[in-house]
Each structure stands twice: as structure tokens, then as C-alpha cells.
């Protein structure tokens, strides 16, 4: 299998089927706003920073009710259903959470050693 993005095999093994199967006409993952997945990896939470929640659909930051619901689900499953999405600054190399702020906050509070991240 030739990977269409770095870490595709890892994503598949961990159950994150984000790219179309071989033979699909659109082999590269295209997110709803047209960005392409560049890499999938599992990294330490300390390597990620928050971008002031500017991309949150909720304009008031993290919501307590959602945090509790997501926390309970993450504790029960011991995994994320969806990876966190991040970007990497090309000049500084800083990796920033773009989507998944609640999941990121909870993973840190649960002391998870690694978080699945899709770099876009």
C-alpha cells in the first residue's frame, strides 16, 4: 500500500479511516473546506498549543456540558472517535489545535500519553 499521506497506515491500524479506499477516484482526503490531510500521527499533548479557540463553532469557548459529555465518552472508550486537527507553522514548527479543543483539553486532563492528530 502506498500512503497518500504520511501516517495513513497508522491511521488505518488505529481505526481512523479518513481516506477513501484504493480505487476510489478521489484518493486524497479532502475536508469540507477543501484542505488536504498532510499527515496523521499520535503525539504528546504537550507538543500542541491552542489557537485561542478562534476556530471554535461555539463563540464562547469550551462549554462545560460538552466537556462533561466528551470526557465521559473518552474515559469509557479510552480513545478518541475522531482525531484532533492541527496545523504546523512553517517558520516555527509550532503545532496548533484547529479543531478538537474539547477533546484536546480532556486528553490532557486524563494524562493521556498520546493524542491522534491529523495535520492539515
- The domain that holds 89 is classified in CATH as 3.90.1530.10
Give the pLDDT confidence score for residue 58 in this predicted structure. 53
Q: What is the pLDDT of residue 65?
A: 80
Count of domains observed in the chain: 1
Residues 6+ positions from 119 with CB-CB distance below 8 Å: 37, 38, 39, 40, 41, 85, 86, 87, 88, 95
Residue 101 domain flag? yes
Cβ atoms 36, 25 nearer than 8 A: no
Determine the pLDDT at residue 8: 80
pLDDT the model gives residue 91: 93
- Evaluate whether residue 46 is within a structural domain: yes
Does the model's pTM come out above 0.75? no
Q: How many residues does this entry show for the chain?
A: 120
- Domain enclosing residue 102, as ranges: 8-119
From first to last of its 120 residues, what are the pLDDT tens digits of the chain?
566 778 888 887 887 765 444 444 443 444 556 667 888 899 999 999 987 655 555 556 677 788 888 888 888 988 887 788 899 999 999 999 988 888 898 899 889 999 999 898
Amino acid at each position: 500500500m502506498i500512503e497518500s499521506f504520511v501516517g495513513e497506515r497508522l491511521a488505518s491500524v488505529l481505526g481512523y479511516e479518513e481516506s477513501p479506499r484504493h480505487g476510489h477516484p478521489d484518493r486524497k482526503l479532502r475536508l469540507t473546506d477543501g484542505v488536504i490531510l498532510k499527515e496523521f500521527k499520535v503525539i504528546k499533548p504537550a507538543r500542541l498549543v491552542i489557537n485561542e479557540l478562534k476556530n471554535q463553532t461555539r463563540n464562547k469557548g469550551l462549554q462545560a456540558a460538552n466537556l462533561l459529555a466528551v470526557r465521559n465518552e473518552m474515559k469509557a472508550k479510552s480513545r478518541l472517535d475522531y482525531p484532533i486537527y492541527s496545523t504546523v507553522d512553517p517558520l516555527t514548527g509550532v503545532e496548533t489545535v484547529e479543531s478538537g479543543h474539547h477533546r484536546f483539553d480532556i486528553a490532557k486532563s486524563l494524562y493521556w500519553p498520546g493524542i491522534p492528530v491529523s495535520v492539515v
